[in-house]
């Protein structure tokens, strides 16, 4: 029996949020790994610092502001992590860590600071009251290939390393990061922390992975843009993968691979609510979901992903809104539309869904 939790950056905002996350962790039995993203918006800022570093502009200001923000959070938690955090954020052009790296590898190094800082804070906070919580540098266990910015894990090697860990501990570790066999820090791709949760779950044959977010689960359309959404209770691995491939940002698209392979359930739920949220497993329920992604600078692809028996499909195929069909698969239909009309099309699809529901 074991569980893996992953907390996204959107819920790691300040000391209050860290305490909230800590409560959830402390109240859970059989937890093995807690995977953390960088604190809210930190990865974007690190990317900005890296760009300045490359262009020989002043990148120290961005790093100093981030350092201060993290020191502030740790102070509010009564932790003295000034020295640890300073060491992490201390990147200089001649720093030993960067010698011999390509520019993409330097970016991976910049990225790694965010996750290392957030996990340092949470693990210090938790271990102050219970020694079973322990900081783990995920780069010591998660072995990857040598592709910068989008590395793939070497699962069997990673599993072997995990077997050497202390089985009594609950490890607080970083999402998104790994290390290739040549000893270089790699990242799994932007938003890749979900994937880390899935990789570690695969390695320990976890019972479940829970991805904790600021939204209640996987919605029928992006809740930050549309009010008329509902939660999808149960989704198959296949549908969840289709959704992410067609633009839904709720999960990193490769997350489902290791989970489906071993039939490990994924729960997507909110830190603010008691509800279970969405379960992703082998069998989904009847559902539909609308999502959009860029086609180019002027057009978008709007897609409807659905369970095969859903009544909306025949209506969609009649194409009452006269949008251009783009692509169709057994579980989705896509339309190509000018960006200005994207929102309108999505609203019309939701209207159509309402009429189907009323019948
Ligand atoms: N912090 C990384 C990012 O923002 C990875 C993640 O949060 O999943 O892309
Ligand atoms: Mg994410």
pLDDT of residue 166 exceeding 60: yes
CA distance 353 to 87: 54
How sure is the predictor about 82, in pLDDT bands with cuts at 50, 70 and 90?
Answer: very high
Mean pLDDT of the chain: 95
Mutate which of 39, 43, 185 to test ligand 1's pocket (most atoms within 8 Å of Cβ)? 43
Asked whether 39 lines ligand 1 (CB < 6 A), one says no
- Which ligand lies nearest the alpha carbon of 195? 1
In this prediction, residue 356 carries a pLDDT of 79
* Protein residues with C-beta less than 5 angstroms from the ion ligand 2: 8, 191
332 within 8 A of 303, measured Cβ to Cβ: yes
In this prediction, residue 303 carries a pLDDT of 96
- Atom of ligand 1 minimally distant from the CA of 194: 8
How sure is the predictor about 314, in pLDDT bands with cuts at 50, 70 and 90?
Answer: confident
- Mean pLDDT over residues 112-131, rounded? 98
In this prediction, residue 97 carries a pLDDT of 82
Q: Which of 69-73, 148-152, 318-322 has the lowest mean pLDDT?
A: 318-322
- 345 C-alpha vs ligand 1 centroid, how far in Å? 30
- Mean pLDDT over residues 242-262, rounded? 95
pLDDT of residue 126 exceeding 80: yes
Higher-confidence residue: 226 or 23?
23
Long-range contacts of 340-344 (CB under 8 A, 24+ apart): 342/292, 342/300, 342/302, 343/225
Asked whether 148 lines ligand 1 (CB < 6 A), one says no
This model's pTM is above 0.85? yes
In this prediction, residue 1 carries a pLDDT of 65
DSSP one-letter string for 180-218: ETTS-EEE--TTTHHHHHHHHHHHTT-SEEEEEESSSS-
- 317 C-alpha vs ligand 2 centroid, how far in Å? 32
Asked whether 191 lines ligand 1 (CB < 6 A), one says yes
The Cα-based distances of 34 to 30, 158, 212, 340 in angstroms read 11, 16, 11, 41
- Mean pLDDT over residues 119-139, rounded? 98
10 Å Cβ neighbour count for 52? 16
Asked whether 193 lines ligand 1 (CB < 6 A), one says yes
pLDDT tens sequence across 171-200: 999 999 999 999 999 999 999 999 999 999
- 193 C-alpha vs ligand 1 centroid, how far in Å? 6
pLDDT of residue 15 exceeding 90: yes
pLDDT of residue 95 exceeding 90: no
Asked whether 37 lines ligand 1 (CB < 6 A), one says yes
CA distance 292 to 245: 10
- Atom of ligand 1 minimally distant from the CA of 8: 7
Asked whether 197 lines ligand 1 (CB < 6 A), one says no
- Mean pLDDT over residues 290-319, rounded? 90
pLDDT of residue 246 exceeding 60: yes
Asked whether 38 lines ligand 1 (CB < 6 A), one says yes
Asked whether 9 lines ligand 1 (CB < 6 A), one says yes
185 within 8 A of 139, measured Cβ to Cβ: yes
Report the percentage of the chain scoring pLDDT > 70: 99
Tokens of 107: 């970016």
In this prediction, residue 358 carries a pLDDT of 60
CA distance 178 to 168: 23
The dihedral formed by the CA atoms of 34, 139, 241 and 7, expressed in degrees to the nearest 10: 30
- Mean pLDDT over residues 312-318, rounded? 85
- Atom of ligand 1 minimally distant from the CA of 189: 9
């Amino acid at each position: 029996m074991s569980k893996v939790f992953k907390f996204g950056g959107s819920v790691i905002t300040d000391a209050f949020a860290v305490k909230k996350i800590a409560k959830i962790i402390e109240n859970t039995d059989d937890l093995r790994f807690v995977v953390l993203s960088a604190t809210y918006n930190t990865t974007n800022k690190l990317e900005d610092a890296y760009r300045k570093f490359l262009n020989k502009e002043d990148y120290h200001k961005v790093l100093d502001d981030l350092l201060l923000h993290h020191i502030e959070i740790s102070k509010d938690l009564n932790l003295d992590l000034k020295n640890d955090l300073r060491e992490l954020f201390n990147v200089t052009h001649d720093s030993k860590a960067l010698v011999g790296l390509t520019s993409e590898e330097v970016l991976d190094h910049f990225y790694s600071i965010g996750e290392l800082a957030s996990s340092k804070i949470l693990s210090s906070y938790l271990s102050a009251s219970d020694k079973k919580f322990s900081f783990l540098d995920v780069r010591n266990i998660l072995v990857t290939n040598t592709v910068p910015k989008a590395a793939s894990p070497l699962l069997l090697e990673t599993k072997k390393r995990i077997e050497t860990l202390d089985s009594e501990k609950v490890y607080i570790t970083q999402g998104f990061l790994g290390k290739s066999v040549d000893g270089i820090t790699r990242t799994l791709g932007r938003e890749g922390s979900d994937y880390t949760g899935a990789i570690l779950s695969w390695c320990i044959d976890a019972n479940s992975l829970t991805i904790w977010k600021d939204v209640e689960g996987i919605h029928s359309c992006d809740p930050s843009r549309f009010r008329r959404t509902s939660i999808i209770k149960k989704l198959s691995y296949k549908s969840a993968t289709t959704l992410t491939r067609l633009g839904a940002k709720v999960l990193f698209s490769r997350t489902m691979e290791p989970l489906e392979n071993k039939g490990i359930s994924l729960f997507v739920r909110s830190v603010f609510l008691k509800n279970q949220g969405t379960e992703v497993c082998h069998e989904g329920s009847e559902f539909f979901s609308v999502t959009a992604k860029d086609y180019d600078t002027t057009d978008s692809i709007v897609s409807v992903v659905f369970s095969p028996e859903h009544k909306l499909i025949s209506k969609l195929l009649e194409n009452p809104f006269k949008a251009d069909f783009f692509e169709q698969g057994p579980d989705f239909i896509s339309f190509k539309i000018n960006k200005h009309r994207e929102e309108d099309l999505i609203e019309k699809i939701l209207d159509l869904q309402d009429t189907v529901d009323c019948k």
